[in-house]
Structure 1
């Protein structure tokens, strides 16, 4: 049986501010529906993605900004970063890990390296390896996104 991740709920404090931010990223607005003052859903899909995000009023009790480690995979990280910066988004510089392509977690808009040899180094992965180059940004509430360059998927992906 195939199982597909379709939707991620983002906790936000200001729905209109979040809507403007995700519109500025170039995400497609799929739905903005309010049925009362206590319930509103705003649904966006990143370009080319089969998985969407949703936020609003009355959707989650999770603290705004607590969603971390949300990955956007791109085939050219420099181009993706430049496009986001051109849209007025504050994005980290491109970086890679000293010990290879693997990483151990994410917190507050930055990847956290708690393994030996996983120090964050400036610039593209030296071999330009798939899964090896990253950049980060956060939405206005602090929900943390990671851009990861993948040019060739691992087997079985």
Structure 2
């Protein structure tokens, strides 16, 4: 099995479409049915998994999704690109525990992982509705991945 689509609950479909398009995400579909059902699908560059949002797509509260992860090989370049796209992106951080980041901002330490360990450095941002994203630097995959 492969993860194909993540559904995002949003309040303003066109605002969300503009936000993700401005990040350079590919617009795969924007389909409107006669009954007002609308599906917008976008895919991050290089990803096999897309996001979908629209009207009649989710009953979850807009902005209620947490913990979505994007993976990059260069956290500094990714942060600069997000900032250049006018995204309110966090500073680079690592977690005090060194395994994975805690929820919210608990145990965040400033700067990249001191050893620059793969999987250890992050930035975070939210979309206009508050759905939260974490960008994680992975420079070398763990065995078998």
TM-score of the two chains, using structure 2 as the length reference: 0.96
**2:108 alignment counterpart:** 120
- Secondary structure of the structure 1 residue equivalent to 2:133: strand
C-alpha displacement of 1:37: 4.9
Q: Which runs of 5+ in 2 are unaligned?
A: none
Q: Secondary structure at the match of 2:98?
A: coil
Secondary structure of residue in 1 paired with 2:16: helix
1:65 corresponds, among 39, 63, 66, to 63
Task: Indicate the SS of the match to 1:72.
Answer: strand
Q: Distance in 1 between matches of 2:8 and 2:34?
A: 20
Aligned partner (choices 120, 124, 135) of residue 147 of structure 1: 135
Q: Deviations over 1:44-93 (max 9, x none)?
A: 00000000000000001010000110000000000001011111111000
d(CA) in 2 for partners of 1:101, 1:153: 14
Instruction: State the alpha-carbon separation in 2 of the partners of residues 142 and 125 from structure 1.
Output: 26
Q: Deviations over 1:97-136 (max 9, x none)?
A: 12213234x3xxx35x4xxxxx210001000001100100
Give the 3-state SS of the residue equivalent to 1:36 in structure 2: coil
Question: CA separation in 2, counterparts of 1:88 and 1:37?
Answer: 35
Q: Deviations over 1:1-23 (max 9, x none)?
A: xx100000000000000000001
* 1:155 CA displacement: 1.3
Deviates more, 1:79-88 or 1:32-41: 32-41
Tell me the residue number matched to 1:46: 44
Structure 1: how far apart are the matches of 2:123 and 2:66?
A: 14
Partner deviation per Cα, 1:29-55 (whole Å, 9 max, x = no partner): 000010135300000000000000000
Q: State the SS of the aligned residue for 2:52.
A: strand
How is 1:64-103 mapped onto 2 (pairs within 5 angstroms)? 64-103=62-101
Q: Aligned-residue CA RMSD in angstroms?
A: 1.1
Q: Secondary structure at the match of 1:152?
A: coil
